[in-house]
């Protein structure tokens, strides 16, 4: 498995549950049928981009849990059905306020991608079971 941060390839991360937050700080798109994978985001990965709607630079592509501090424009959970570890909790900060939100894997049901408000940073991604 590959892990990318800011376009640089890193070593593999352990599989398991991930936690990431985005409660009410991201504008989300409605769920539909399965979408094609966004640029550079292979199935089984959680990805973050510099621009809205999974555009701009791929900043993060991880198949396992992650922590750090990364300003993002959008996110996408391209996970695969795997009971107990196919959703992600995303922890984020906006204006110093922490938030955690759960994202289903593409195609849903529920949200699996989101655009970030200006100034939002993610600090943790944790794979988990149902939201």
Is residue 22 left, alpha or beta, with left meaning phi > 0 and alpha meaning psi from -120 to 50? alpha
Domain that holds residue 58: 3-32+41-128
Question: Is 29's pLDDT higher than 80?
Answer: no
Whole-angstrom distance, CA of residue 91 vs CA of residue 102: 9
CB atoms within 10 A of CB 101: 22
Q: What is the mean pLDDT of the chain?
A: 81
CB atoms within 10 A of CB 81: 6
Which SS3 state, helix, strand or coil, does residue 124 take? strand
Question: Is 34's pLDDT higher than 70?
Answer: yes
Between 54 and 33, the higher pLDDT residue: 54
**What's the total number of domains in the chain?**
1
- pTM of this structure: 0.76
Task: Please write the tens of the pLDDT for every residue from 74-128.
Answer: 999 999 998 889 999 999 999 999 999 999 999 988 899 999 999 999 999 999 9
Structure tokens at 98: 């922490």
């Amino acid at each position: 498995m590959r892990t990318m941060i800011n376009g640089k390839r890193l070593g593999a991360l352990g599989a398991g549950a991930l936690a990431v937050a985005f409660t009410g700080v991201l504008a989300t798109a409605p769920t539909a049928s399965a979408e094609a994978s966004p640029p550079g985001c292979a199935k089984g990965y959680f990805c973050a981009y510099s621009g809205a709607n999974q555009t701009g630079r791929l900043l993060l592509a991880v198949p396992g849990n992650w922590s750090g501090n990364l300003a993002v424009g959008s996110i996408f959970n391209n996970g695969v059905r795997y009971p107990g570890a196919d959703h992600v909790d995303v922890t984020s900060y906006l204006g110093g306020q922490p938030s955690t939100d759960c994202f289903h894997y593409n195609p849903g049901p529920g949200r699996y991608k989101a655009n970030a408000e200006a100034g939002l940073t993610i600090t943790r991604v944790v794979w988990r079971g149902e939201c």
